[in-house]
Structure formats: C-alpha cells, structure tokens
Amino acid sequence: MRMANAMLAYLGKPASSLLTLPPFESWKFQRTVTDDLPEIRIHYVSARNRFSFICDDDEMIDTIFIEADNLDRDLSDIPFSFSRNDVLSCFGAPSRSGAARSDPFLGEFGPWDRFDEAHHSIHIEYQPHADQIRRVTLMRADAVP
C-alpha cells in the first residue's frame, strides 16, 4: 500500500507554486543559492516551521524536507508518531535502508528507509533514540542520491 501525499504534487513545479499558497505564503523563507557545485541549487528554508525545499537552477522543486515537529502536521499524510514497523506496514518493503549512525560533525542520525516510485522517492528518517519519524524527505526521481 502506498500513502498519497499532496506535497508530492509540488515536485517538479516552480517554487512560486508552493510559496504563493497557504500555509506557505505566510511563512518566512530564507533563500540561498549554492553555486560552487557542478549544478546550481537554490534552497528555501523556513526554520520556524521546520520545512525546507531545494530547487534546480530553473527554480523547479526537486526535494522537500518536512521535519517531525513541523507546526502544520497536515503537510504529511504520514503521521510522525509512526514507528518503523508502522511505516513498513503501510509502504511495504523499502527500496533501500540504512542503520543508525553518528557523525562527529553532524551528530546522530537514526535509521532510515527509502521507497522509490517511477517519478519520486519518499525517504523516512527515524529518531536516533526513539522509534518514530524524525523527517520525511520527498524527492523527484532524478534528484535521488
């Protein structure tokens, strides 16, 4: 079973299509451009709302990040209280998974699962010390690392 997510509809769309609609139109976003990589990436971050997205150089959205304590829980059809088993029950077998790890500079990361579809992927990272979702990342298929 695959869960629908209205946020998936923004993948491949212009940043303005998201920024001009509720609730995003009232959120403060910081826009930064990374131009020291092979491809230009434009980042929009709403730190207060723990929501961000990345665009290509044409301002088309390729990745959306929704943090667990996002103020607007309606952004994700996936309840952040879900355990890993809950996620696997809904999505089935993941395309890829990873174990928890600790990075000396970035800190601790929980385990993760990625579910690939033809046009997008859903990446779910779990809390490092609790069996619940930390972050949901939505990516266009051509943006998957």
Tell me the C-alpha distance between 115 and 96, whole Å. 7
Predicted pLDDT at 139: 96
Pick the range with the lowest mean pLDDT from 14-28, 41-55, 72-86, 122-136: 72-86
pLDDT tens digits along 63-104: 999 988 754 555 667 888 899 999 999 899 999 999 999 999
Per-residue pLDDT at 78: 80
What torsion do the CA atoms of 12, 14, 17, 20 make, to the nearest 10 degrees?
A: 140
Which of 3.40.50.150, 3.40.50.2300, 3.30.460.10, 3.40.33.10 would CATH assign to domain 6-143?
3.40.33.10
pLDDT at 42: 97
Instruction: Average the pLDDT over each of 17-26, 75-84, 110-119 and give the range with the smallest value.
Output: 75-84
User: Where do the structural domains in the chain lie, given as residue ranges?
Assistant: 6-143
Give CA–CA dist 71/58, Å, rounded: 29
> What pLDDT score does 106 carry?
85
- Rounded alpha-carbon distances, angstroms, from residue 142 to 20, 100, 117, 127, 139: 25, 25, 11, 27, 8
pLDDT tops 50 at residue 2: no
pLDDT at site 63 = 97
Please give the pLDDT value at position 74: 58
Count of Cβ atoms closer than 10 Å to residue 71 Cβ: 13
State residue 12's pLDDT score: 96
